[in-house]
Chains A and B, each alone.
Chain A
């Protein structure tokens, strides 16, 4: 295990470089990201195990998301609390080479497409996912996906409002139900598919997991409550199984979904997950499928642990799992990493070398590089 301290800055997101086996970008924020500056670290793991800073950039607001460019080995994207997405060139000091400033609120994640390498997407608390094309030197977005508006358009709920019953006629309850809370559609995470350049997945504070096809007039083609009404914080596409995705959230569960089995009917019960992993004691902040195989899933959580799960394809693990009261089968958690002493906010797998290397970061101002295979 190798470590690096991000003194005074709490880690929020971390990514391995897709070009170098020893480079890591870490997005951090002062004061736990609640208020104040941010800092982007670009780190190198040396042969002796030391981790050194190649370069770092101070930013106006806290940084929450980070992604490497898939076209230029020196380009790193960050997203920050002031709604700004910035592209840094690590050969140039101090300032980003491009800024994308359309989002109205915190941008919590950015992801670079693996297929159409000119594109990246950003997920923001303003309720939107935006798609950008920095390669064409264009700093306005190509497309905006609005989670709430699209859902309303799809279900037609807002367009034909039913007359509101006067409270005097129905003295039963003073509160109106607020599932459709306009202020509750912060998008936490958005990812490009590894299999289709037009597909984007996002998850939001309204517990919804949403899939978008950017070719459609209304791109939202799948939308369901994934985490029992509690906030859905992270999602990821499986690299080996084109229709399999995972999501995690405040219900402490990581769930594996087969998107072919999701029914479009909005009035039906929420769909059943293919598999679900129970074990984290607090909300799961981030998850990532392994790049080395179809089954391993990495999760990091507010419970200060990082866990590695095995999504066993055994048929017995796939039946009889009712949501709610009944307990699922024993958790197939193979490894628990507990070196962090605060919330673990970001994690990523290394694409390189011996499979199993991961990097994690959290509010304890630590970056740990460790191997899931060697964990006791």
Chain B
């Protein structure tokens, strides 16, 4: 029945999944997507290193362990790195890190910052340049050291005259309060949030236990200050030791609705957002190597997945967490794909309240969202998250399946992107 199977293909074009997963020589494909472990901000294993070290070590690990030996680094025609908290989005130190990691200086560098979507924007930037033919291959990354750069210095400085405008002033609302606004405006109960958060912890803990993240994490070695240092002399340089970091620190066992119920609200006395149902402060980095398909084929590089589309939308700043609820339908409309045809949604859990709102508003099947837990359990290294989601979703999808990553963005935006696994 060879003839039947051949003729059957004529009707294949009607299936949106087949249409989007079709392999064309000019597709933008992902040949590598990896990340570091995500560690706890301020006290985790990455607390003594800045984002540039994370980026350098991760890129080194990518070339040494994951790409074929002799991969010509000069084939890379753009390095785009997303980052939020470093001054100037890390334009200097991340350029230095990429050079230190062995990428030749002839390769240009771009620092990019669209808040929590910066890692995804880096992927989108490289993919778009490949699509229009400016480049054939680019490295996208996201990196954040909240240990080093989160604090008063990261506070925005907005001029008084701008703040006089009520809309402008809304951009100063702390993120936690924007989530409280969503909770009260759309009636999301504390119990529902705690249930969502404990679910995230349980999924992540299970995933870590089962080694689900082992494939996507590149272990990196960093120097940390030795805690056993008994020398009290502050002038003497602190003793350091080198450790290998290969495991996420965020997930923890035995988190339940009841245990979360004991936590006090963090932003408002009568609020419902607390440390247990909000994303964690974290350090981490992620890289995605993208190229045009015919180049990947010529180099005989295995193809992990295909970049299909990305969209960013704006939403009111005071409820910025609703971003994914508008970005996901927008990107699905762009590629004409029904939401049921998507196998996995990786939606950043900035807060349980906003994540729940978005899932319900779009009408997603909860079982398809963040199958290995989200930022509440895994942590949310701001600029890294968008790229981290790409490496995670590539392992969650089976060949031929389509996944969507999305996140809300401070000051009122949402981003979403569609990828296919091959």
Contact B298 A251 (CB under 8 A): no
Contact A173 B24 (CB under 8 A): no
Complex Cα distance A163/B300, Å? 8
A179-B23, A233-B10, A283-B10 in contact; A34/B3 too (CB < 8 A)?
yes
Contact B9 A231 (CB under 8 A): yes
Contact B11 A283 (CB under 8 A): yes
Complex Cα distance A233/B12, Å? 13
Contact B296 A229 (CB under 8 A): no
Contact B7 A175 (CB under 8 A): no
Contact B304 A177 (CB under 8 A): no
Q: Could you tell me the distance in whole angstroms from the C-beta of A343 to the nearest C-beta in chain B? A: 9
Contact A325 B335 (CB under 8 A): yes
Contact B9 A205 (CB under 8 A): yes
Q: Could you tell me the distance in whole angstroms from the C-beta of B171 to the nearest C-beta in chain A? A: 30
- Name the CB-closest residue of B to A171: B215
Q: Answer yes or no: B92 CB below 8 A from chain A CBs.
A: no
Q: Answer yes or no: B212 CB below 8 A from chain A CBs.
A: no
Picked from B10, B19, B68, the residue with its CB within 8 Å of the CB of A165 is B68
Contact A177 B23 (CB under 8 A): yes
Contact A173 B11 (CB under 8 A): no
Contact B11 A266 (CB under 8 A): no
Q: Answer yes or no: B166 CB below 8 A from chain A CBs.
A: no
Q: Answer yes or no: B158 CB below 8 A from chain A CBs.
A: no
Q: Could you tell me the distance in whole angstroms from the C-beta of B31 to the nearest C-beta in chain A? A: 7
A162-B298, A175-B302, A282-B11 in contact; A225/B24 too (CB < 8 A)?
yes
Q: Answer yes or no: B1 CB below 8 A from chain A CBs.
A: yes
Annotate A174-201 by CB proximity to B: 1 below 8 A, 0 otherwise: 1111111000001000000000000000
Q: Answer yes or no: A114 CB below 8 A from chain B CBs.
A: no
Picked from B4, B133, B292, B399, the residue with its CB within 8 Å of the CB of A34 is B4
- Name the CB-closest residue of A to B13: A250
Complex contacts, B399 vs chain A, CB 8 Å = 174-175
Complex contacts, A176 vs chain B, CB 8 Å = 302
Q: Answer yes or no: A170 CB below 8 A from chain B CBs.
A: yes
Contact A325 B309 (CB under 8 A): yes
Q: Quick one: which of B1-37 are within 8 Å of A by CB?
A: 1, 3-4, 6-7, 9-14, 19, 22-26, 31-32
Complex contacts, B68 vs chain A, CB 8 Å = 165, 169-170
Annotate B319-345 by CB proximity to A: 1 below 8 A, 0 otherwise: 000000000000000110000000000
Q: Could you tell me the distance in whole angstroms from the C-beta of A234 to the nearest C-beta in chain B? A: 11
- Name the CB-closest residue of A to B311: A325
Picked from A33, A165, A229, the residue with its CB within 8 Å of the CB of B301 is A165
- Name the CB-closest residue of A to B21: A229
Number of interface residues of B (CB under 8 A): 44
Contact A177 B11 (CB under 8 A): no
A167-B302, A173-B303 in contact; A178/B3 too (CB < 8 A)?
no
Complex Cα distance A56/B132, Å? 55
Complex Cα distance A125/B10, Å? 14
Q: Could you tell me the distance in whole angstroms from the C-beta of B113 to the nearest C-beta in chain A? A: 25
A230-B12, A266-B294, A269-B26 in contact; A175/B422 too (CB < 8 A)?
yes
Q: Answer yes or no: A355 CB below 8 A from chain B CBs.
A: no
Q: Answer yes or no: B243 CB below 8 A from chain A CBs.
A: no
Complex contacts, B294 vs chain A, CB 8 Å = 179, 266-267
Contact A251 B7 (CB under 8 A): no
Q: Quick one: which of A238-255 are within 8 Å of B by CB?
A: 249-252
Q: Could you tell me the distance in whole angstroms from the C-beta of A182 to the nearest C-beta in chain B? A: 14
Complex contacts, A276 vs chain B, CB 8 Å = none
Q: Answer yes or no: B152 CB below 8 A from chain A CBs.
A: no
Q: Answer yes or no: A356 CB below 8 A from chain B CBs.
A: no
Complex contacts, A250 vs chain B, CB 8 Å = 9-13
Contact B13 A283 (CB under 8 A): yes
Q: Answer yes or no: B67 CB below 8 A from chain A CBs.
A: yes
Q: Answer yes or no: A270 CB below 8 A from chain B CBs.
A: yes
Complex contacts, A228 vs chain B, CB 8 Å = 19, 22, 24
Contact A325 B334 (CB under 8 A): yes
Contact B10 A179 (CB under 8 A): no
Contact B302 A170 (CB under 8 A): yes
Complex contacts, A106 vs chain B, CB 8 Å = 3, 6
Complex Cα distance A106/B6, Å? 11
Q: Answer yes or no: B299 CB below 8 A from chain A CBs.
A: yes
Complex contacts, B295 vs chain A, CB 8 Å = 267
- Name the CB-closest residue of A to B336: A325
What 18 additional pairs, Cβ within 8 angstroms, besides A167-B302, A169-B68, A177-B23?
Answer: A34-B3, A162-B299, A165-B300, A170-B68, A172-B31, A173-B303, A179-B23, A179-B293, A179-B297, A205-B9, A230-B13, A230-B19, A250-B10, A251-B19, A281-B14, A282-B11, A283-B13, A325-B334
Q: List 25 A-B contacts (CB under 8 A).
A: A34-B3, A34-B7, A106-B6, A162-B300, A163-B300, A172-B66, A172-B302, A174-B399, A175-B303, A177-B422, A179-B23, A205-B9, A207-B24, A225-B25, A228-B22, A230-B12, A230-B19, A250-B9, A252-B13, A268-B133, A269-B26, A270-B25, A282-B13, A285-B10, A325-B334
| Pairs A-B, 7 closest by C-beta atoms | A173-B302, A229-B22, A250-B13, A229-B24, A283-B10, A165-B68, A173-B304
